[in-house]
Amino acid sequence: MRVSKASLARRITVCAAVAGIVVGAAAWSGAADGSPAAPHRDVQAERILHGREVFDFKSLSELLATSPVVVQAKVTGVQPGRTSGSEETGGVEQARDVTLQVTDTLKNYQGATTTLVMEEYGWDADGNGYQVENVAWSNVGDTGFYFLRKTDDGQRWRLVNTQSRALDKGGWLQSSAEPGSELAAALTGYQPDELAFQIRWMLDKKNQQVLTPLAEPTEVTGPAAESPAPDSGAEEPIPDGSTDDGSEPTPYPSSS
């Protein structure tokens, strides 16, 4: 069959359009977690959430002493976890359940199995992913140190705070503490074996005087949680215009 150049070009154009639609449709369905019917959840965090945490650790001794459980572990799975919140409290969120295969128990983990589920955040109600402070989402294959406490459902675990993870990055540990912070500086340069040794040394009964736990917060529930806090009446004075406090000359040090 004889085909003119114009006809051939037209056919190629149609084929390209069809291919484009097919490729595009595949990409869209992939973005929705593999199924058009599945709820949309981002496959990676798209924003960072900031805030004030209960604990702020300055040293390994504070972090270690305040953490109920410390393990070395490997991430073997990640899947959507429980939801919490409501419209009245700012929206519904969904956690990520991170399965950790415990490879070494350094402090107090007495689970019946060698795997545990650690909760991390998360997705909002629209499936938009976010990470909290410097804690990048866990990936299968990650290995490192996890400083943990139980979640309020008593079933899962969570990092004590966003400083409480140190991942093995090619033989060197990378802390989840804010870069430049005292804790991040304290953990910089450790290799995994060295940190494990240091932790065991600090937990040894002969050396426990080096441990400096931070005070636990006071939890309140029920009507007491909504009661107006007593006011001392004292107003803090407005600071003067001085920047002679170690903060200058950097005009804008806050990167997070």
Q: Which of residues 220-249 bind another protein (CB under 8 A)?
A: 220-221, 225-232, 234, 236, 238-248
Q: Which is nearer to another protein, 28 or 197 (by Cβ)? A: 28
Q: How far is the CB of 186 from another protein (least distance, A)?
A: 13
- Report d(CA 152, CA 84) in Å as an integer: 12
Q: How far is the CB of 157 from another protein (least distance, A)?
A: 12
The two structure tokens encoding residue 13: 């154009």
- Report d(CA 2, CA 4) in Å as an integer: 7
Q: Which is nearer to another protein, 71 or 192 (by Cβ)? A: 71
Q: What is the pattern of x (binds another protein, CB under 8 A) and - over residues 12-51?
A: -xx-xx-xxx-xxx-xx-xx--------x-xxxxxxxxxx
3-state secondary structure of 95: strand
3-state secondary structure of 223: helix
Tracing tokens 């736990």 back to the chain, one arrives at: 213
Q: Which is nearer to another protein, 38 or 220 (by Cβ)? A: 220
Residue 90 Ramachandran class (φ > 0 left, ψ -120 to 50 alpha, else beta)? left
Tracing tokens 């390209």 back to the chain, one arrives at: 16
Which residues, including other chains, have CB under 8 Å from residue 93's CB and lie 6 or more apart? Answer: 83, 84, 85, 121, 122, 123, 124, 125
Query: What residues from 60 to 119 belong to the interface with another protein (CB under 8 A)?
Result: 84-85, 88-91
Q: How many binding residues for another protein (CB under 8 A)?
A: 86
Query: What residues from 117 to 176 belong to the interface with another protein (CB under 8 A)?
Result: 124, 130, 132, 151-152, 158-161
Q: Which is nearer to another protein, 181 or 198 (by Cβ)? A: 181
Q: Tell me which of 65, 96, 182, 195 binds another protein, using CB under 8 A.
A: 182
Q: How far is the CB of 216 from another protein (least distance, A)?
A: 10
Q: Which is nearer to another protein, 21 or 38 (by Cβ)? A: 21
Q: How far is the CB of 206 from another protein (least distance, A)?
A: 29
